[in-house]
Amino acid sequence: MLIRRSCFERVGAFDPRLERSEDLDWLARAVEAGIEAAKIDEVWLRYRVHATNITNDIEATTSSMVETVKRRLDRRRAEPNE
C-alpha cells in the first residue's frame, strides 16, 4: 500500500497502542475521513512467511481484528444521527 503524507496528516498516524491490525484500524479511519483509494490492477510483492510472523497467532490476530471492528462501530455510534 502506498499512502500519501497528506493522508496521514488528515487521518493521523497508526495507533501505537495496537500490536496487531493497526493497518486495518488506520484504513477504517481513512474511510471515515473520506480518503479515496485507487486500485492498481497488477501489484507484485514478496511477503516473507516464517515461524515467527505475528499473524501466525490466529487467536490473537482474530481478537485484534474484532477489537478493531468494535472501535469502528463505537465511532459510528458516537456520530450524531442525521
Q: What is the pLDDT of residues 42-69, one digit of tens each?
A: 877 778 888 888 878 888 889 988 999 9
pLDDT in tens, 3-27: 899 999 999 999 999 888 899 999 9
Contacts of the segment 1-8: beta carbons below 8 A, 24+ positions apart: 7/35
82 pLDDT more than 70:
no
Mean pLDDT, range 64-81, rounded to an integer: 90
Are 19 and 64 a contacting pair, CB within 8 Å?
Answer: yes
> Would you state the pLDDT for residue 28?
94
| Structural domain spans, the chain | 5-78
Write down the pTM of the prediction.
0.74
Handedness of CA 20, 18, 3, 73 (dihedral sign): positive
